[in-house]
Structure 1
Amino acid sequence: MKLKHKILKSDLKIPINYCQHLGLEAQDTFIVSYPKSGSTWFRFVLYELLTDNHATFEKVNYTIPTIGKHFGKDLETNYGRFIKSHEPFRKDYGKAVVMVRDVRDVIISEFNYNKKMGFIKKDFPFNDFINQFVEKSVNRFGNYAENLNSWITAKENNKADILFIKYEDMKADPYLQFSKVNTFLDLNRNLEFIKQKIENNTVAKMQKKEQLSNDRTLKSADASIPFVRKGTSRQWVNVYSTEQLDLIENNFEDILLYFKYK
């Protein structure tokens, strides 16, 4: 995983990325987010809305795979094919649900995820991580602002059919937000059905699913650091110093204002 992480952050990403996007179809629907923005929880509920089956890491990752892992699989559901992506907007993405999360919480989750996967050492300074996140990127999907701005521009210019869903709104009123998704994707599921699928995938239940999972990526990571954490919003309030918060807010002010975080 560490070698793959390094390769995909290098210039080799360009040809690899091209190959990963082969075989897409105009009717595909994409589940998009910048990493650590709540797409795992979203996909678990969506999987159950699509299939009416119990969601596990294995089933969700197979039926709603990451871009590049969609080859040679019978992924067609009764509502079409769904593919996960963390990439900036591309013309291949004609219809997408885009998950958004407060960047101040994203940084904290990314920091813990990078430690879990061994991409950084456990004693890596948090302040150095913040600087790297702000100045360039801590993953292969580009800077947070550049990535998300590509989706904002695409929506405003009507380049694709895009629904933005804020993670914080999902936490506050999941029934309302998944009802919006239900309408956007023409699933025609009733409210009681939607409520049941949400209740099947609470944080506690997803943590249990993680413990029972045989997913190869999870098994290869540091088990002492959970993948499914508390799932809370505004965890950043008691984490950052004034200087760190100023740095983050000054660099991502436009995004924070656009999604009414500030």
Structure 2
Amino acid sequence: MLPVVYRHTTVSRRDAFLVSYPKSGNTWLRFMLTHLLSGSEADFDRDSTVIGEVGSHRATPEVLPAGGRMIKSHEPYSGPQKRFYRKAIYLVRDGRDVAVSYYYTLIRRELFTGDFSPFLRLFLDGGVDGYGPWHQHVESWLDSPLEESGSLLVLKYEELLKEPVRHVSAAMEFLGRPVSGPRVEETVRAYSADKMRERERQSRFHEQQKRSDIMFVRTAGSGDWARTFSAEDEALFAQATAGLLPRLGYARSS
């Protein structure tokens, strides 16, 4: 894989990004934005044709005003690549739910076989992928110059669950592509959790997974961490992430 900065070299000033830490609801929001930006159906086998992933975005179509593209990224706002980020939607989710979702993703792919507590320590150390610890990733975007300049729209996954029409409409407005309420409502219905699971079951993506009994679209909800975390896990997470949970409006305990 190319070094991270080289994956950004063909980014234009007109492009905008959809950014999140992995397992934060990016796929769901991306499917809805794909539908609204292009009018085409989004599915698991060709989900990057309209909103391309950074590094594989050269052929991504121009769907934003003035010829801009919509590009997906999981990168933190750090390093030399941050100069390429000029406008972004940042989707954030309770990091405890992120950890649980990530755990089951790796179990499904047979990339992790242990219990949750050892995985949580790996997660908090940023050892699961190349994107660093969840809390550092979130803070890098919340404290970025984009936030100060009004070029960053922060969406909370939990609020997107409660009021999807409102927040998807806000995202489209932010991108300069406002759409009518009825069209957003139709899109939200088309990409409900049940409809997303149906798309997943019918996909080659699902057939290729090691554990077909664990869905990519699993609970599609919030608060799952309270059924998984031990008291020790809760304390460890709170200590590692310092004041980020209350900053985001998340309760520190179940």
TM-score of the superposed pair, with normalisation by structure 2 = 0.90
Q: Summarize the Cα distance change of 1:142–1:78 in structure 2 as closer, same or farther, 3 Å threshold.
A: closer
* Preserved contact between residue 134 and residue 143 of structure 1 (Cα < 8 Å): yes
Identity of aligned residues (%): 29
* Preserved contact between residue 34 and residue 50 of structure 2 (Cα < 8 Å): yes
Q: Does 1:94 align with 2:86?
A: yes
Moved more, 206-215 or 157-166: 157-166
List gaps (5 residues or longer) in structure 2. none
Structure 1: how far apart are the matches of 2:104 and 2:38?
Answer: 32
Out of 101, 122, 147, the residue aligned to residue 109 of structure 1 is 101
Q: Report the counterpart of residue 220 of structure 1 in structure 2.
A: 208
Code of the aligned partner of 2:152? I
The structural deviation recorded for 1:54 is 2.1
Structure 2: how far apart are the matches of 1:155 and 1:49?
Answer: 28
Q: Report the counterpart of residue 5 of structure 1 in structure 2.
A: none
* Preserved contact between residue 94 and residue 159 of structure 1 (Cα < 8 Å): no
Write the deviation string for residues 158-200 of structure 1: whole angstroms up to 9, x where unpaired.
3671000000001111111112112211212010111000100
Q: Report the counterpart of residue 201 of structure 2 in structure 1.
A: 211
Q: Report the counterpart of residue 122 of structure 2 in structure 1.
A: 132
The structural deviation recorded for 1:19 is 2.2
Q: Report the counterpart of residue 221 of structure 2 in structure 1.
A: 232
Q: Does 1:153 align with 2:143?
A: yes
Code of the aligned partner of 2:154? F
The structural deviation recorded for 1:68 is 0.9
* Preserved contact between residue 35 and residue 86 of structure 1 (Cα < 8 Å): yes
Code of the aligned partner of 2:136? E
RMSD of Structure 2 on Structure 1 (CA): 1.8
Q: Report the counterpart of residue 245 of structure 1 in structure 2.
A: 234
Structure 1: how far apart are the matches of 2:108 and 2:190?
Answer: 26
Out of 45, 49, 54, the residue aligned to residue 36 of structure 2 is 49
Structure 1: how far apart are the matches of 2:7 and 2:110?
Answer: 24
List gaps (5 residues or longer) in structure 1. 1-7, 9-14
SS of 1:207's equivalent? Answer: helix
